[in-house]
Homo-oligomer: A and B are copies of this chain.
């Protein structure tokens, strides 16, 4: 069993950490974006890796839980421990330095508390691109983005956070420091600890720094929004785009007309590019090196796809502003969703070829359950759908309390039956622990537990996240 933070423990920490580590305005650390939980505990922001290590060692000695807190933008409660013995909330916010930039190596080394937008800017300052990009990039911090293996809109081309990390510095729950901050592209010397820590959601250790992979900035970019007759056509268009433009394909996002309708209903205001909003459309984004011609590539793609009945209408951005306007539609859908207020939200992935079946089957099963609106959109190129349920017009979220659990079960059972995942990019946190137990392969669960017990034998790291407390 873990112990709660006591006054004596706080006194001890005051001898180990500088005064600035103790935060006064602690309310923000106790809430999370979806408002499901209220947090608790002692908020501490160590100044550097050594201070994190001292803090971890003290917590281990006292058997006090540590909840790493990065940008606080997680959607599954990984950053909030609502009950149990009061833990230490370990904020990364003061680990905020870009340590070094190596343009010739396409590598950037930074503290784990640096905000994603600042990493993007540091890369841009070196004429490089750090391609991780997602809605919360103005507040999400690198440590949490790695701990949750964040995805976003450029995964199709550049991979998720895991693919963009070469090395890590990690404080273990016993206070020792793993110096794994390598800039190497190849290093086959023992088990892959980097990828084990990435995606572990702070349950195996505290990421304090990372060596990140930058890429050349695409010299030429372009975007198009194309109406497709069906999700199946969208998939075939994706394959056609892959064969025509190869790695130049940066993003391939599916949008249902429900997203446009929500934007019209509650904002944010966007300029929608179609005379008649299609039931389904895709946003395609291209990036090419110097000499490439994304607009011509998009025109060729449109022509070939139109010929093959894969698209029925479309616009190709004629300027950077038009490209941004197309992206504004995609990026404002989550805010419109928030304003409408979902019955439930799902971050699922499927084998690509199973996506059309899922959409058809889920829609039929849910409409049989009750009158609701479904907003299905997301990263089709990755097989990752954000599949969110909303009240029918004029009804309230609370009207659906009786069927919410059944709706979620319908969706996750369908996903499991099609070999998909109930958490594509958001992680497990505390929200989906029971789902992992229910849908996870028992042999996998046994291995997760064995690893957790091996690397955090006292169970102090982010207690109750990913795995139920032993």
- Could you tell me which A residues sit within 8 Å of B by CB distance? 102-107, 148-149, 151, 155, 159-160, 162-163, 172, 176-180, 182-193, 195-196, 198-200, 204, 216, 218-219, 235-236, 239, 242-248, 288-292, 296-297, 300, 349-353, 379, 381-384, 419-428, 432, 436, 439-441, 443-448, 450-455, 466
Contacts and interface: CB of A to CB of B under 8 A. Distances in A.
11 contacts: A102-B351, A105-B351, A105-B383, A176-B443, A189-B421, A189-B432, A189-B436, A191-B200, A216-B246, A246-B289, A454-B454
Contacts of A447: 172, 178, 191, 193, 455
Nearest to A211: B351
Contacts of A216: 242-243, 246
Given A104-B235, A192-B195, A196-B196, 8 more contacts: A148-B188, A159-B163, A184-B351, A184-B383, A186-B425, A188-B426, A189-B422, A246-B288
A155 B185 CA distance: 9
Contacts of A382: 185-186
Contact of A199 (B188, B236, B296, B453): B188
Nearest to A205: B447
Contacts of A245: 289
Contacts of A155: 185-186
Nearest to A293: B291
Contacts of A198: 192
B190 A428 contact: yes
Given A187-B424, A428-B190, A451-B454, A107 B351 contact: yes
A149 B188 contact: yes
A419 B182 contact: yes
A448 to B, nearest CB: 5
A444 B193 contact: yes
Contact of A106 (B162, B242, B440, B445): B242
